[in-house]
Chains A and B, each alone.
Chain A
Amino acid sequence: GAGVSQSPRYKVAKRGQDVALRCDPISGHVSLFWYQQALGQGPEFLTYFQNEAQLDKSGLPSDRFFAERPEGSVSTLKIQRTQQEDSAVYLCASSLAGYNEQFFGPGTRLTVL
């Protein structure tokens, strides 16, 4: 498939554990976005990459959240010392360039117990 893929699709973590969520964007897409979607809510912006450069991380809720895209393709969102309030679906989206249509992956549903 040529769409955005995310892994794992589901993740259960105990409070205090670290987790890493992976996003494989559409090949050739320069821009990559991470969003957090709480149950029953619309997605909220976390961070944005243009190639390997993280241009906006204003939506990251705390310093426990860290994202990287070292080679300008695959991206990883890492959450350290997970808390129950981190439970949500984490969506990744990619686009040809920042202002083009964003294509979303299926998301990773994180549950923190």
Chain B
Amino acid sequence: TQLLEQSPQFLSIQEGENLTVYCNSSSVFSSLQWYRQEPGEGPVLLVTVVTGGEVKKLKRLTFQFGDARKDSSLHITAAQTGDTGLYLCAGRSFGNEKLTFGTGTRLTIIP
């Protein structure tokens, strides 16, 4: 059972467009992470957000952690074909080392 729901599940857009992926839960997390996974590889960490309301920017990617620490979003500006992949959010509960992953968003950027 996955406690983190991501939307949309699939997203296919043209190169140059903007997009937002959402990660929602009814549970509170001490931190939330975003990963990108390529076929045949393990997930690779993009960012960790730890403070409610926190916003982090990495070049064209903007990550936000909800005020209540239950949800997060990933916004990509001017998408590029290299952004194609499976995007996963993952939460860590207080006092718990394991990660609870979201259901995933498969992003395809069309040239």
Contact = CB atoms under 8 A, between A and B. Distances in A.
The yes or no verdict on A and B being binding partners is: yes
A44 B100 CA distance: 7
A1 interface: no
Given A42-B2, A101-B45, A56 B98 contact: yes
A41 B2 contact: yes
Interface residues of A, number: 24
A45 B99 contact: yes
A48 B106 CA distance: 27
Interface stretch (B13-21, B35-43, B63-71, B76-84): B35-43
A31 B98 CA distance: 10
Main secondary structure of the interface of B (DSSP, over half): strand
B7 to A, nearest CB: 13
Main secondary structure of the interface of A (DSSP, over half): loop
A103 B10 CA distance: 25
A107 B101 CA distance: 16
A113 B97 CA distance: 34
A45 B103 CA distance: 13
A107 B4 CA distance: 22
Contacts of B41: 106-107
6 contacts: A33-B98, A40-B104, A42-B88, A42-B104, A102-B45, A104-B42
Closest 9 CB pairs of A and B: A104-B42, A98-B97, A42-B101, A45-B98, A42-B104, A43-B101, A42-B88, A42-B102, A104-B43
Interface of B: 2, 4, 6, 40-45, 48, 88, 90, 92, 97-104, 106
